[in-house]
Amino acid sequence: MLHHRSLMQLHDSLKSGEFSSLELTTHYLNRIKQLDGTLNSIITVSEDIALEQAKEADQRIADGKASALTGLPILHKDIFCTKGIKTSCGSRMLDNFVSPYNAFVVQQCQEAGMVMLGKSNMDEFAMGSSNENSFYGPVHNPWALNNIPGGSSGGSAAAVAARLTPIATGTDTGGSIRQPAALCGITGLKPSYGRVSRYGMIAYASSLDQAGPMAQSAEDCAMLLQTMAGHDPRDSTCSKQKVPDYLASLGESIKGKRIGLPKEYFSEHLDSHIADTIHAVAKQLESLGATLHEVSLPNTCIAPPAYYVLAPAECSANLARFDGVRFGYRCEDPKDLNDLYERSRSEGFGPEVKRRILTGTYVLSSGYYDAYYLKAQAIKQSITEGFLSVFNNNIDCLLTPTAPSTAFPLGNKVDDPIAMYLSDIYTIAVNLAGLPALSMPAGFDHAGLPIGAQLIGPHWSEAMLLNVAHQYQKTTDWHQQIPDFADSINT
């Protein structure tokens, strides 16, 4: 079946003429029609645009002008602006917003000849760890339909896992690519901060947000990252660092790689089965020639409180633009300007977004700025220095769990925000330090739910992380496992 194939395999088949991009696109559109009513992983299906782009891709292939990604389908997280198509950010506030331009990531994919199937569901304004905060309803995990897929890129993760698309884009502010990738049994990469332009990506926390690929394997992620990465003068935080050939380095041996296991990541918060799984990953990497070393990152435990001061502070500032005046949701019959502001925002934003705006406004207010915001910035710096100290001590990358548990039931933590926030306990520190990190499938728990292993590297080490993950995936088949739900129809 076509949807069982990896992105690279689909590329090879298109190149050989086994099938056309139009046939491939139609196959995935049919799967979306038949399966996504249950998953709710997609907000907008852009069928007409996809079919037109597929025809154009077939012509490019016929003319010998195709790139590695030409004709391959993709879903974009609904946080990326797409010209002529609704960009909602999972919020009522932007339910009627149609962007007049494309985000950098979307533009790069279109120029490569990719086919956009649509826009994936997400936690509202990327605020959440379960994808239960979307205005369009929760996304369901294809491995267990009553469980969460993770968030905020849960729609992208669920769609890839259910093979409604071979690849998707996501964004990661505190773990929003890696955590849903782990919970849905796929591979997800959060690049170094500045590796991928944020132009046209609706901001949550500007100093932490980063776009990245979500796919079946490290090889597939490398293919998309090659197109996503690069300098963009429209984003002042986008690096001019040279983009390496990510695919070329995948075949390198990892013999001699020094892999650190931070003892703080194997605490009482971690499910014992997950801990055993990560140690099994370590042993597998060791059998491939890597060496294992226990390391310490003592400030890891204070990353969540620092993050939940800094991220809401930035969200409070970024979301001030949504006021009912220029675009987006506007309340009916406002009495005056203040009423327009108050009701448009209170009716347009959901509970979690309101909670974070209020938290952010509080920590930035007079009398609390020094006590909270500046202290959190100091903690952020100390966390960064802790990572750099480990890497400067001849450690090539770190191996950790991605999440403290597997996917939990929908509604299980909705009334306990602190418990929900701790779902990101192993991913948040990476964002505070601006480092790259990757989550890859590593096994299943006793209930048959996926477990993810996280690789963390120094700045600009995406190629090395992809190489380590690829070598692991060459000797295991966890990334090839498909939920029964994905094959519940004949296509």
Report pLDDT for 491: 67
Q: Side-chain half-sphere of 487: how many Cα atoms within 13 Å?
A: 8
Instruction: Give this prediction's pTM.
Output: 0.97
Reported as a single tens digit per residue, the pLDDT across 420-443 is 998 999 999 999 999 999 999 999
Q: Give residue 74's identity as a one-letter amino acid code.
A: I
Q: Report the distance separating Cα 343 and Cα 353, nearest Å.
A: 15
Asked if pLDDT for residue 90 goes beyond 70, the answer is yes
Q: Which residue has the tokens 């907000």?
A: 43
Note whether 192 and 208 are within 8 A (CB). no
Residue 150: strand, helix, or coil: coil
* Residues with a known catalytic role: 77, 152, 176
Reported as a single tens digit per residue, the pLDDT across 281-321 is 999 999 999 999 999 999 988 999 999 999 999 999 999 99
Tell me whether the omega of the peptide bond preceding residue 272 falls within 30 degrees of 0, making it cis: no
Asked if pLDDT for residue 267 goes beyond 90, the answer is no
Asked if pLDDT for residue 230 goes beyond 70, the answer is yes
Note whether 118 and 164 are within 8 A (CB). no
pLDDT mean over 357-377:
93
Give the CATH number of domain 2-258+480-487: 3.90.1300.10
Domain ranges of the chain: 2-258+480-487
Q: Report the distance separating Cα 54 and Cα 21, nearest Å.
A: 5
